[in-house]
Structure 1
């Protein structure tokens, strides 16, 4: 069933009014008719089964049939702090990261970041938010991940202090054969929607030794992501997959 994220103010107790691009998608792409069903989520994590009741101009009026107990979120809120990569790689990171359950994305300017976004950020943010919304709809998430303003290293370290768990994906840790850091940390976490984890991933070329030292001094923990060196756009997906396996698939087997 197709899902849409609709601004909360467009909901009433019994109906939701769908406008703009979402209404156009319903009518032109999905060719929905009166009586057809879809899902709509507000921005507070509530998901409803809805039925098309009428068309008013370019808007679509849906009747709320029932609220769903969706529970499609990871049991721990994960924020991906991604060193700004080249080209359109951040598009891929946002799309696939959203599908895999990321709660938020924080681009940051690392020492080895080649791309600079300062002059084009507003346009880029609009695109990233659209990608996140569409990926959240496709994967039937309860929420659309938040896209943060870009940060520098100092800002990211300060931002990290509000997280109960903060990690650095560091390839040198993997090269040294240290494979237990991530599994050990995940075992120490009691999953809760109130628990938050920040993972820092470098751009192409990784993080510099100086950057890693600054993170470590601020309480971040280094971890390797397996024995192989991953591309910057692959590492976030690998990490989220590990978390999903540990807290969702493995939990279901062991409970």
Structure 2
């Protein structure tokens, strides 16, 4: 069954109004007709099986037949604090992170970031693009929510933001062995929220690690090999996802 996303404001009692680009997709690409079934997600974790009632020029009306009890979300929220990478790597990171269950992505400007976004107009366009990628990845992977990509923060701002979370980790090549990393993954699986700090191509400066450590962010190892920035986040998110879902 085809699934479409709407804002909660588009749901009124037992009726949902579909607007925007999905109207053309339903009418002219899928060529759906009144009486056919489809699934609607409100972007906040709820899914509804619906019946197509009316095809209008700029909107489509559907009625809710039943609310579905299934959920595709992890039991704990994962926040990815990603050091700004070069070129289009951020797009890949966003796409794969959303597929793996991340709740929110926070781009972070660090000392060794090659990319510097100083033009506010360029930053706004990038942020819009990043959120569109997150939305597309959420739809493709059947997520119950659309994870948000936040505006770029400094490391100091990101650490302050992370203080509201239950637990925070920062993969670091000089951290202790894998036993501590395993314990961190197991601990995160039972918590409501976990932050993951990933450095850019040049990694974190020593003083940045110390700043994070002083704020309670736990350094962990991801193995004997040095991973690229786009690999590190995907690796640790995969570990957390596996551990969380294996406990359900």
Q: Into which bin does the TM-score normalised by the smaller protein fall? A: over 0.9
**1:118 CA drift (Å):** 3.2
Other-structure match for 1:95: 95
1:142 is matched with 144
Structure 2 CA distance, aligned partners of 1:236 and 1:2?
Answer: 30
Separation of aligned partners in 2, 1:200 and 1:190: 17
Q: Deviations over 1:195-244 (max 9, x none)?
A: 11000000112111111111111111001123322211111111111011
User: What number of residue pairs does the alignment pair up?
Assistant: 246
**Structural RMSD (CA):** 1.6
How far 1:27 sits from its partner (Å)? 2.3
Match of residue 55 from structure 1: 55
- Alignment-derived partner of residue 42 in structure 1: 42
Contact 2:82 2:198 in 1 (8 A): yes
Which deviates the most, 62-71 or 81-90? 62-71
After TM superposition, the structure 1 = structure 2 runs for residues 23-172 of structure 1, keeping only pairs within 5 Å, are 23-119=23-119, 120-172=122-174
1:189 Cα deviation after fit? 4.2
Structure-1 separation of matches of 2:37 and 2:223: 43
Aligned equivalents of 1:12, 1:38: Cα separation in 2:
17
- Unpaired runs of 5+ residues, structure 1, are none
Q: Matches of 1:164 and 1:41 in 2, distance apart?
A: 28
Structure 2 residue matching 1:234: 3-state secondary structure: helix
Match of 2:215 in 1: 218
78 and 190 in structure 1: CA distance in 2 versus 1, 3 angstrom threshold = closer
- Per the normalisation by structure 2, the TM-score is 0.93
Judging changes above 3 Å, is the alpha-carbon distance between structure 1 residues 190 and 240 closer, same or farther for their aligned structure 2 residues? closer
In structure 2, how many angstroms separate the alpha carbons of the residues matched to 1:136 and 1:30? 20
Residues 80/34 of structure 1: CA separation in 2 closer, same or farther (3 Å cut): same
| In 1, Cα distance between equivalents of 2:29 and 2:89 | 28
Runs of 4+ in 1 over 3 A off after TM superposition: none
Q: CA deviation digits over 1:125-169, x for unaligned, max 9?
A: 111111111111111111111211110011112112111101101
Name the CA distance, whole Å, in 2 between partners of 1:41 and 1:28.
21
Aligned residue in 2 for 1:188: 187
With 95-104 and 10-19 compared, the bigger mean Cα shift is at 10-19
1:200 maps to which residue? 197
- What is the distance in 1 between the residues matched to 2:109 and 2:236? 21
Gaps of 5+ in 2: none
Q: Is the 8 A contact 2:4 2:22 kept in 1?
A: yes
| Equivalent position of 1:8 in the other structure | 8
User: How far apart are residue 32 of structure 1 and its match?
Assistant: 2.1
